[in-house]
Amino acid sequence: MKTTERRPSTGSGHGGDAGKRRKGARTSSGTSTGSRTRTSTSTATTTKNKGPGTRGPLPREAREILDVLRRSKAPVLSSNGRLDGDALGSELALAMLLERLGVRARVVNDGPVPSSLRFLPGIERAATFPDGLAEPADLLVTVDCGARELLFGVAEKLRDVPIANVDHHVGNSGYGRWNWIEPRAAAVGEMVYGLVEACGVVPDAAMATNLYVSLVTDTGRFSFSNTTERTHEIAARLLRAGVKPDLVSREVYRSRTPGQLTLLGRTIASLAIHAGGRIAAARLTQAMCRECGAAPWDTQEFVDVPKSVRGAEVGLLFRELGDGSIKVSLRSEGGVDVDALARRFGGGGHVRASGCTLPPPIEEAERRVVAAAEESLAAAGKSLTSPPVIH
């Protein structure tokens, strides 16, 4: 597996902040030995942006999975219980594709549907575990799920059902009987789009909207480094199929309550700058949530606060969880390896995006992680007092 040119991708979002596609995903896992997940040869052997979404033959793994899907009588589609736009959008679009092929699929997840995604066409068919599993299943199709245990109850309940694993996380363990892993895909929605095209199906507006939400959320509104020409090409075709980008944007990004925005404002106000401007840290406490009558809806939007400080090479979000522990989200905009940094505290993730959890109080957690980040900067020869050069 080549480690250059790899699209950012992450492991599961569980325990780390790895649920977001970020720049510079950890690549070392691709060279480990043992039961490595195969990536499709079409993407592993070319540096061009070929792959699902461009016309052309599907990789062998994808064709196998398509065959398995077509033959299945009672497939269940599922994803990481921490549902996001890619997970749900890909599931619903795949369910719609299967319907067009004459296969009735169920969608079952062990996690709630975020309020910002309740507008997705067909969302009423997404059941929440343990609903939806009364009837037997003959195939479990997982999308956007880096590890089997992230299926939570669904994995337990369907433990004897063969798995077809469709994912773009570079750290995917290949837990399926069939595995189609495309680390270069910006979103699993790109992969599902490849299946749609290979089947000669023209997406309707409902299917296209689900796929578009998958792309727009996993690329940070087409802004992360995983955004490719192909992402935009697919998006263009989805618009042609009837997607209303303004409606999607309003539902996903412009539907905050005043309390939620106040909470974001409080987080911005908490910003602290360290190491001459190279480290930015923000806080999100339970008291702030109580006072604003809101809960964080998407960690990403809060991590963007310290990450947006010009010149900051390390962005840190300290979030007090309900049990009092402190969840730290680490982002690197420079040369600091925040995977290594998070590992010092029992966490991990990727070179540019990682997470770890520390005991309370939040002040002590912040002091320890900032000190470790300063050590990393010093080790990289960076000054901790003079401001970074800003052009």
Q: Is the dihedral of CA 37, 43, 44, 47 positive or negative?
A: negative
183 and 218 Cβ atoms separated by less than 8 Å: no
10 Å Cβ neighbour count for 159?
10
- Cβ neighbour number for residue 196 with a 10 Å cutoff: 25
Q: How far is the CB of 223 from Mn ion (least distance, A)?
A: 15
H/E stretch holding 332 reads strand 326-332
| Beta-bridge mates of residue 180 | 166
Rounded least distance, CB 86 to Mn ion, Å: 3
* DSSP track, 238-295: HHHTT--HHHHHHHHHS---HHHHHHHHHHHHT-EEEGGGTEEEEEE-HHHHHHHT--
Smallest separation (angstroms) from Mn ion to the CB of 296: 20
Q: Give me the least distance between CB of 18 and Mn ion, in Å please.
A: 11
User: Nearer Cβ to Mn ion, position 86 or 366?
Assistant: 86
> Which residue, 27 or 376, is less far from Mn ion as judged by CB?
27
Residue 45 beta carbon to Mn ion: minimum distance, rounded to whole angstroms = 23
Rounded Cα distance between 240 and 229, Å, is: 17
Report the residue number, 86 or 333, with the smaller CB distance to Mn ion: 86
Alpha-carbon 88 to chain mean position = 11
Residue nearer to Mn ion on the CB measure, 212 or 318: 212
For 4, residues 6+ apart whose C-beta sits below 8 A from its C-beta are 47
> How near is the Cβ of 176 to Mn ion at its closest, in Å?
16
Interface ranges with Mn ion (CB under 5 A): 86, 144, 218
Q: Which residue is nearest to Mn ion (CB)?
A: 86
